[in-house]
Amino acid sequence: MSAGERGYRALLFLYPRRFRREYRDPMVQLYRDSRRDRASWPRLASDVVTSVPRQHKEAFRTMSTQGKLLTASVIITIAIVAFMAVGGALFALALMLVLAWTLARLLRERDAQLSSGFWWKLTLSGVGVFAAGVLIFAGPWPQSWRDAIPGELGWWSGMFIFCTAIVMIVGGLLSGVVQFASRRRLSH
């Protein structure tokens, strides 16, 4: 197998799994047939670049609702990490709320039922995490202890703790509003 064929096979991994299983062998054979023509490699590579997004769009369209929600959760999580890495903390926080909503939809799709006290337990847990974060980062600790922790580690730890607490509080309050509204709708 030539280096060019290995490179082309590597490009084929960009396609969705189902498409790859069905068309990988014919596409590799097309590459082998067109290998004699030097001008064909850029054409084949550009075909991969233009057809990969279409194939992923088609795969996403035919996916189940649970698969779509799970895919959205993974993409949102990756975006959260990326925005936190570049300093977009508020946008990362907004994405965390979107992730919480997406995961709630996924649970609803699977017919998971939340207990009646879930919302206040989640809200109080968020308040507890927030209080622990304040105690850890603003407590009366000796300066030598503060200097022993690298600044970047402290910042990332604080960001994680406070964002988690805010998502828990907002998620708990939102689920409480939803439970209240659904009970009210059922009583009428």
Residues 114 and 170 in one domain: yes
* Whether 106 contacts 70, CB under 8 Å: yes
pLDDT of 128: 93
Q: Residues 20, 67, 112, CA angle at the centre, nearest 5°?
A: 155
Residues 106 and 135 in one domain: yes
| Cα separation, 171 vs 54, whole angstroms | 35
* Whether 175 contacts 114, CB under 8 Å: yes
Residues 27 and 84 in one domain: no
Residues 83 and 173 in one domain: yes
Reported as a pLDDT band with limits 50, 70 and 90, residue 114 is: low
Residues 70 and 56 in one domain: no
Q: What is the CA radius of gyration of the chain?
A: 25
Angle in degrees, 0-180, between the axes of helices 151-187 and 118-138, rounded to the nearest 10:
160
The count of structural domains within the chain is 2
**pLDDT for 21-77, tens place per residue?**
888 888 888 777 777 766 666 777 777 778 888 887 787 777 776 666 667 767 777
* Whether 122 contacts 172, CB under 8 Å: yes
Please compute the mean of the pLDDT values over residues 105-118 and round it to a whole number.
Answer: 68
Residues 54 and 89 in one domain: no
**pLDDT for 4-17, tens place per residue?**
778 778 888 888 88
Residues 102 and 175 in one domain: yes
Reported as a pLDDT band with limits 50, 70 and 90, residue 2 is: confident
Q: State which of 61, 87, 106 marks the end of a domain.
A: 61
Residues 113 and 162 in one domain: yes
Residues 69 and 56 in one domain: no
Residues 103 and 20 in one domain: no
Q: Which domain holds residue 166?
A: 65-187
pLDDT of 38: 64
End-to-end CA, the chain:
71
* Whether 40 contacts 34, CB under 8 Å: yes
E strand or H helix that includes residue 81: helix 65-86
